[in-house]
Amino acid sequence: MRNYLLLTPGPLSTSESVREAMLQDWCTWDKDYNEGVVTPIRQGLLHLAGLDADRYTSVLLQGSGTYCVEATLGAAVKPTDKLLILANGAYGKRMAQIADYYRLPYVLVSLHETELITGQTVRKALAGIPGITHLAMVHSETTTGLLNPIEEAAEAIRGKNITFIVDAMSSFGGIPIDLPKLGIDFLVSSANKCIQGVPGFGFVIARKDKLAATRGNARSLSLDLYAQWEAMEKGGGKWRFTSPTHVVHAFYQAMKELEQEGGIAARYERYKQNHRTLVDGMRRLGFRTLLPDEAQGPVITSFLYPQADFDFNRFYGLLKEKGFVIYPGKISDADTFRIGNIGDIFPEDMERLLEAIRSIR
Ligand SMILES: *Cc1c(COP(=O)(O)O)cnc(C)c1O
């Protein structure tokens, strides 16, 4: 019962059982919902990440992933702080846009979109910019598919009393992330990426003491992360404003399916296998990837146009007729298109896609 397979990294193809979980209506403040669905989701997120509920907590917030990035930056960075944003793609730059709107004191270090943010990048930035209190960066840069080595950034700020904010939107749930080891204070992700739910809310996993310290900092009512957390804690899972009930139910089902699959480690293996199948097959068909393999993550891949007069719209349309929806490229200095391999997608689907591409080339 699928119109097509979404080979885009969110919204992505969900399982039928996740979609079925939306076939009923629920009351947004009833305890069956708050205690029976929202609270287990909040606990489940910590469990998935292997975190101790004494030190870490999770907050859910309406909207897409960007709303949660905005809520986090708006809460965590005070006017007296200094935020370092390291960017190598559109999502990193979006954090700087948020900082502009909020008039946060920040410095943006922008790298080329094919260049990794390494330990060296961080050390160099810190050496050149005194007084940094917060570091924000993207883990899996969906702009290109690049995977930043956050463990190197973590190492570079260790012991420096710098709050570490990670946009793990397109990696959390699909790539293992050890928050305590990396010293991540705020990790942001959303329902419609690697946990394989549908769009409608995002979530923040935070060190409890760091989140508690943001009380009164927010400059937006609806995006007040602390107030949202407080309401959920005191109200047993209550959201401050109307929650996307159907989406939340679908997410709960998606979380159960992630556990059944074997957790994050197992999903990571499947995504890597999908990715390997895709890239090997595309290379056999004569396509080249934008990124070198060392910089490439297992979530989405940018492919260069095979020839200068490549007609992407025609390619897109023909693939859609065959049941596959792909993504245009998102960088300015190379002609690319992107194919995602996260979601309810398996190596066989990648094989079918490759066959479809072979037949239309
Ligand atoms: C999807 C995504 C976001 C959030 O984008 P929305 O359109 O707000 O959902 C942020 N950062 C990264 C890296 C993403 O992949």
Pocket test for ligand 1, best of 169, 171, 196 (most atoms within 8 A of CB): 169
pTM for the structure as a whole: 0.98
Q: Is the CB of 66 under 6 A from ligand 1?
A: yes
Tens digit of pLDDT for each residue in 165-178? 999 999 999 999 99
Which tokens in the block code for residue 355? 């066959």
Residue 10 CA, closest ligand 1 atom number: 1
Whole-number Cα distances in Å, 294 to 115, 146, 149, 277, 291: 10, 9, 10, 17, 8
Q: Is the CB of 8 under 6 A from ligand 1?
A: no
Tens digit of pLDDT for each residue in 79-91? 999 999 999 999 9
Kindly give the distance from the C-alpha atom of residue 167 to the centroid of ligand 1, in angstroms, as a whole number: 8
Q: Is the pLDDT of residue 333 over 90?
A: no
Residue type, 74: G
- Secondary structure (DSSP) of 84-142: EEEESSHHHHHHHHHHHHTT--EEEEE--TTS---HHHHHHHHHHSTT--EEEEESEET
Specify the pLDDT at position 184: 98
Please confirm whether the linkage preceding 306 is cis (ω < 30° from 0): no
Report which protein residue has its CA nearest ligand 1's atom 4: 65
Q: Is the CB of 190 under 6 A from ligand 1?
A: yes
Tens digit of pLDDT for each residue in 52-68? 999 999 999 999 999 99
Helices and strands counted in the chain (H then E) = 14, 14
Q: Is the CB of 170 under 6 A from ligand 1?
A: yes
Residue 166: strand, helix, or coil: strand
Kindly give the distance from the C-alpha atom of residue 287 to the centroid of ligand 1, in angstroms, as a whole number: 26
Q: Is the pLDDT of residue 356 over 80?
A: yes
Tens digit of pLDDT for each residue in 127-185? 999 999 999 999 999 999 999 999 999 999 999 999 999 999 999 999 999 999 999 99
Pocket test for ligand 1, best of 170, 203, 302 (most atoms within 8 A of CB): 170
Q: How confident is the model at residue 273 (pLDDT cuts 50, 70, 90)?
A: very high
For tokens 């689907």, name the residue.
349
